[in-house]
């Protein structure tokens, strides 16, 4: 049940004519796994906690480095050398005490990934490599939960939302080729700081949509942005026949 204080805290979104108390309650009940506490995870975790998501599970095996600070806005100068999950958790706990935060200071894989995916309602993918993304995709399909995946490099971003249990394609349907370890990374290709912030903020919005049912989610589609020119387009990701990851889903 939402308290009087909650009604005040979330009043500006509850004021929307098409956003109800029930939808706010759904956010309060939700458990979201955020994979990656860097440039994408920073705005995602902050906006989800601010908007009233009940529990965030933060997973990242890295520590904060000086070169992160140009865009990973949950971390500051004094956090260099700390685990990113601890730095991020401290930021969230200090500002949004209504949000419960759990931390996993490791790269999620194997049994830990399965167990963690089985304990949440949705997975937010803000990781920086394809093997992790493909493993998350399989874990989400196995658990029948949605995966909201984002990426940003240079001036470009993409946001994709998959829920095969509800009939959409999956991340592997979007990238059927194995050996995608040629992916661009911010470490090698660079990125303009706010580009990651825009894409991460859109990822947070998509997560709120999927959890609450508000607005029109991207489900089954991918949004491409080039923020150098503000160009954008959206493509549908149909379920690929014979997809090794999702073709077993009814």
Residues forming the site for Zn ion (CB under 5 A): 170, 172-173, 243, 245-246
**Minimum distance of Zn ion from residue 11's CB (angstroms):** 41
> Residue 67 or 248: which CB sits closer to Zn ion?
248
Helices (H), 30-109: 41-51, 84-95
Looking at beta carbons only, is 53 or 246 nearer to Zn ion? Answer: 246
Q: How far is the CB of 165 from Zn ion (least distance, A)?
A: 12
Length of the chain: 250
Which structure tokens are listed for 122? 């949705």
The dihedral sign for the CA sequence 87, 101, 142, 171: negative
Q: Nearest distance from residue 170's CB to Zn ion, in Å? A: 3
Q: How far apart are CA 51 and CA 94, in angstroms?
A: 15
* Nearest to Zn ion of 148, 170 (CB atom): 170
Q: Which is nearer to Zn ion, 117 or 170 (CB)?
A: 170
Burial 159-190 (b: 16+ CB within 10 A, else e): bbbbbbeeebbbbbbbbeeeeeeeeeebeeee
Q: How far apart are the first and last CA of the chain?
A: 35
In the complex, least distance from residue 145 CB atom to Zn ion, rounded to whole angstroms = 15
């Amino acid at each position: 049940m939402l308290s009087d204080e909650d009604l005040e805290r979330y009043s500006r979104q509850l004021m929307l004519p098409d956003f109800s108390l029930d939808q706010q309650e759904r956010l309060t009940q939700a458990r979201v796994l955020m994979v990656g506490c860097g440039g994408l995870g920073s705005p995602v975790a902050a906006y989800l906690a601010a908007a009233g998501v009940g529990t965030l599970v933060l997973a990242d095996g890295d520590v904060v480095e000086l070169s992160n600070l140009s865009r990973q806005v949950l971390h500051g100068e004094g956090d260099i050398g700390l685990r990113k999950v601890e730095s991020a958790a401290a930021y969230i706990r200090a500002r949004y005490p209504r949000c419960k935060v759990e931390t996993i200071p490791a790269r999620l894989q194997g049994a830990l990934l399965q167990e963690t995916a089985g304990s949440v309602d949705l997975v937010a993918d803000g990781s920086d490599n394809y093997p992790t993304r493909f493993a998350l995709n399989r874990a989400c399909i196995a658990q029948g939960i949605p995966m909201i995946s984002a990426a940003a490099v240079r001036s470009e971003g993409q946001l994709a939302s998959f829920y095969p249990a509800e009939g959409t394609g999956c991340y592997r349907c979007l990238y059927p080729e194995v050996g995608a370890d040629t992916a661009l990374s911010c470490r090698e290709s660079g990125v303009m700081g706010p580009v990651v912030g825009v894409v991460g903020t859109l990822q947070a919005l998509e997560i709120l949509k999927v959890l609450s049912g508000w607005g029109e989610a991207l489900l089954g589609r991918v949004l491409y942005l080039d923020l150098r020119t503000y160009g954008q387009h959206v493509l549908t990701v149909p379920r690929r026949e014979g997809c090794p990851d999702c073709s077993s889903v009814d």
